[in-house]
Chain A
């Protein structure tokens, strides 16, 4: 198999892992909760889009459906925080961990019950297209995944750098108490971060489902994305993306070089190596967090 093709398909997978990892880190930094359902958010976003787009369901125009799905997932994230997660305020961390794991289960079964447990493919306008770039044959889906991830990353970068809301999110995650003192409505900001986490997961889900079949249990790959976030330092947004890309790139090569069964270990082996040799992750930020 051609090396370049392995690289590109690895990159495309890595983008999806990276986006899920981004969701982990966004929510963790702003609220100190780890949303273990982030992979299932991705899966839910994919199924909502499939439901809106595919001919057997609603059959909406793809470009109309995508923003609707993203907004729906944003609202879902927001409401989940307001109605459920926030109630655990003041409880030990483990309570939130268990809660989000439970939410993941609920989503998996709910999606299966509402739609199907069978694998589904999102019907996209660019399905099956092939581009020949300098002798390398690339699927349109893979190109789309990489471009969209780049655009989303750029958008988030500008959002956190320039927008007042983005700055407030950063501020609330760096020093929550000080955020209260300057008049930032911290609780609302945290719910909005959950909304952002939902929206980013929706994008990841749309990308995933447009390049391969997805079923309700696909959300479990969130664990791989969690490893990606850890590799990136679990606090750094660029780190999360790069962690995702590293895992995405390693997978196809591991599958190529190692006997089946062993290759699946690769992402976690990398995570362990990073934890042993750079416990703060590859992209640890200078942190000065107050209690």
Chain B
């Protein structure tokens, strides 16, 4: 195990009933990094994050955070240890106000001073949430709810943040906006991130390292710049259409990792 790995996942397996959704995944996230996981729909990305954050239980394998095993811990204990999961699809508390949603993100903490400081920090990154503080969270727009989910996650003062498709359903401008904020949080607040994305272009722009998932397993991993330049990634995730002589698109070619 490398000394700088904050999060270390080894040979993880997870099931839905008899169906194996995660097939022996190993990955590591180092201090201060943004690591991205790319993959098509149904590849198992969400399941992987749920298993790491303890919302689902792992059938096999280990998960360590700063050297401590967390694969047998309950979800609330894992949050206490400093790993927070910002779920896919804006899972907010619709009837609580925006401010209450943000504050409940600090449920696992009791350091009043730190919480107050983080509240200020969160509202400075997401001023729109401050403007809408009193409103019921369910009445926010989709993009605002996504910001709220991230803000709520930050309130746990995470050492590692798992982000599941923060760009889902957002306009290109808002995607840019959210990713700029994520990058700033990573640089300014030193939040280490494991970022699941369909939008490979923006994800690889901010990420240091990337994994590609297919059918519940990791099929490829490399530095983000390397992935950006990989022909397969370009073809399958970045939508670069290289014209061949006969005008057929590259995606008809076999993927090299198979």
Taking CB atoms, residues of chain B closer than 8 Å to A286 are: 94-95, 136, 138
**B77-98 vs A: 1/0 string, CB under 8 Å?**
0111000111100011111100
A177 contacts B79, CB within 8 Å? no
Nearest chain B residue, comparing its CB with the CB of A176? B91
B76 contacts A185, CB within 8 Å? yes
A89 within 8 A of B: no
The A151-205 residues at the B interface (CB cut-off 8 A) are 164, 167-168, 170-171, 174-175, 177-186
When A164-B107, A168-B107 are in contact, do A180 and B93 touch as well, CB less than 8 Å? no
When A180-B75, A180-B76, A288-B138 are in contact, do A174 and B104 touch as well, CB less than 8 Å? no
Residue in contact with B105 in the complex, picked from A175, A180, A182, CB distance below 8 Å: A182
A181 contacts B138, CB within 8 Å? no
Chain A interface SS verdict (over half): helix
A175 contacts B53, CB within 8 Å? no
Number of A residues with CB within 8 Å of any CB on chain B: 22
Taking CB atoms, residues of chain B closer than 8 Å to A182 are: 79, 84, 104-105, 107-108, 152-153, 156
When A167-B96, A171-B96, A174-B96 are in contact, do A181 and B91 touch as well, CB less than 8 Å? yes
CA distance A285 to B75 in the complex (A): 29
| Interface residue tally on B, bucketed by range | 20 to 34
A87 within 8 A of B: no
Taking CB atoms, residues of chain A closer than 8 Å to B175 are: none
B94 contacts A171, CB within 8 Å? no
B96 contacts A170, CB within 8 Å? yes
Residue of A179, A180, A181 ringed by the most chain B CB atoms within 10 A:
A181
26 contacts between A and B (CB under 8 A): A164-B107, A167-B100, A168-B104, A170-B95, A170-B96, A171-B104, A174-B95, A175-B91, A177-B87, A177-B91, A178-B87, A179-B93, A180-B75, A181-B85, A181-B91, A182-B84, A182-B104, A183-B80, A183-B84, A183-B107, A185-B76, A286-B94, A286-B95, A286-B138, A287-B94, A288-B138
